[in-house]
A and B are shown apart, each in its own frame.
Chain A
C-alpha cells in the first residue's frame, strides 16, 4: 500500500471538514465538521506511525480521541446554553455587535 493513499484520504477529509466549518450555520453541524477534521488527523498520524515503526503515533491518536470527546461534550453544553438564551443555534445570530 502506498503511504500516499492514506495521506490523501486524510487530506480530502480535512478539506471537506474545513468546508463544513466554514459553510454550516448550525452549531452542531459545525462541531460535526470539526470531528471530521480530527479524524483525518488521526489517520495521518497512524499512517506515519506505521511508516516509522513507532508507537508514538498511536499514543497521540488516542489522546486526540480523548480530547475530541471532551471537546464535543463541552461544545454541546455551550450550544445548549446558547439555545436556552437565544432559542436558536444558528451562529449567524450570535452576534450582538453593531455593524
Chain B
C-alpha cells in the first residue's frame, strides 16, 4: 500500500490543513481547475476535429497544431497545479475514489496517445496533402483523444458524486 501511505502523508501536511481551513481555497481552485480542463479539452478537440476531417479542413494539420497546442499547454499547466492542490486537501479520500482512479488512468492514456502520435505518424505531417484525408492512424489518434478527454471530464465530475463526498 505504497500509494496509500503517500496519500496519508499528504493528508498530514500543513498544505492539507491550510486547504481545509480556508472557506475559499477549495471552491476557487475547483473553479480554476474546471476552466483549465475546459481550455485543454476545448482546444485539443480542434486538433481532433481537424484530424477527423470534421473542421478546419482548409488549414494544414501542422498549422492547426502549432497554433492550438500552446493554448492547450497553458490549460494543462493550470489544470495540473490546481488539481495537485485540490488533491492535497483530501488525498486519502481520492485514493479510495473509483472516479478519481479512472480519471488518472484516462489522463495517462490521453498523454500516451498524444506522445505516440507526435513521436510517430505526426513526424511526416508537413508532407501530408492538405486536401486529402489524413492517414488512418492519425485519424485514430484524433478519435481516441476525443474519447479520452470526454471521459476525463465525465470522471472528474463524477468524483464529486463519490460516496461520502459532499460538494453540493
- Chain A bound to chain B: no
Residues on B close to A: CB < 8 A?
none
Residues on A close to B: CB < 8 A?
none
